Amino acid sequence: MAIHITGGRVLLEDLVEADVVCEGSLLAAPDASAPAGALHLDARGLLVLPGLVDCHGDAFERHIMPRPGVAFDIDLALRDADRALLACGITTAFHGVTWSWEPGLRGAENARLLAARIAALAPELGADTRFHLRHETFNLDAEPEIIDWLAAGRVGVLAFNDHTEGTLKARYRPDKVGKMVERSGLDADAFAALLERVYARKLEVAGSVARLAAAARAAGVPMLSHDDMDPQMRRWYRGLGVGVAEFPIDEPTAREAAAHGEAIVFGAPNVVRGGSHTGCPAAEAMVRAGLCTILASDYYYPALPLAPFLLAERGAATFAQAWALVSRAPAEALGLHDRGRIAAGLRADLVLVAPEPQPRVVATVAAGRLVHLADQRILG
């Protein structure tokens, strides 16, 4: 069914009063007439914005395991996470699935199950849901299987993570590693022993990363490096074809990425909370400095639609610039050139937002389908 949205302020190059027509899964030309029988949405008082593209979100893990050791059916969790995404206007979601050397929630069995179930459920989910493989670089035994997954097109984006070094330093501090131990299902001594065995293979890591990066390049899979520790690390990953810096650990590292025109990801929760909870750069300051080109939901979906409004309100960016951080920029960085903007022939991914008093998602349209409606009064 076609959808005809009238009366709203539509984000094109800037916010303008215009009508929007969705024909099938695509957007019609700005001056298109609505087909007979189109569903009418009255957007008076609302903003009509491109659907959000979330390049990194792992809040779905809480739908699987809301408490340590308390797990629920994967399909149930993914469907529930989908509803949460759509209520936040997220029409493209990359579920950040960590495959670590740890057992449990981030272990091999769960990664395989999630890869399979995300693919199986994708046709029925409202958001275009894709598999973001967060590969722990010390998880050396997974390399052959990941290479097979890349070649088979099962990975939407590949990120390189190393939390092993930090975990090793904090291995005897329950306040630092307690959550990891709980989700692994091991006791503290067994977890520490496993960590030592894994770290003993440190010299094999660089070669494994290089082979995986080559496989991703061959398969056309975009790559991210997570928590680059310094400019040298960013340069090393750049040499492997990893073109997106995800959560660089400090400003010099972000500047190294910016100097080469690379996409730089920070977290929307960082913006909403007014800073990083781990002592990393403040995302708002990075936006002001031109050192943040993408915002991701990270661990909290509602932060993603709210952050652009806060950035615009605080003068860190114009609203159009701020919304691009959650729509056009992530789409372009991940090679999804069919979305992220409101233009003829692109995917009809839209979010209708009531901007006052606190921005609220009223409706979400994904691929031309009304998939979330919070206020029936907009129905014509």
Tokens linked to 143:
């390399």
CA–CA distance, 375 with 365 (Å, rounded to integer): 14
Domains of the chain from N-terminus onward: 3-49+342-378 (2.30.40.10), 52-333 (3.20.20.140)
**pLDDT grade for 172, boundaries at 50, 70 and 90:** low
pLDDT, one tens digit per residue, over 64-118 is 989 877 889 999 999 999 999 999 999 999 999 999 998 888 899 999 999 999 9
CA atoms within 13 A on the CB side of 291: 19
pLDDT, one tens digit per residue, over 199-233 is 999 999 999 999 999 999 999 999 999 999 999 99
**pLDDT grade for 184, boundaries at 50, 70 and 90:** confident
Q: Compute the average pLDDT of residues 357-372.
A: 97
pLDDT of residue 176 exceeding 70, the answer is: no
Single-letter code of the amino acid located at 361: V
pTM, two decimals, is 0.94
| Structural element, H or E, at residue 91 | strand 90-99
CA–CA distance, 78 with 131 (Å, rounded to integer): 12
**pLDDT grade for 169, boundaries at 50, 70 and 90:** low
Q: Say which residues have a Cβ less than 8 Å from residue 294's Cβ, sequence separation at least 6.
A: 55, 244, 263, 264, 265, 266, 325, 326, 329, 330, 333
Per cent of the chain over pLDDT 70 is: 97
pLDDT, one tens digit per residue, over 157-168 is 999 999 887 777
Write down the pLDDT at residue 177. Answer: 67
pLDDT of residue 174 exceeding 80, the answer is: no
3-state helix, strand, coil in the chain (%, to 5): 40, 25, 35
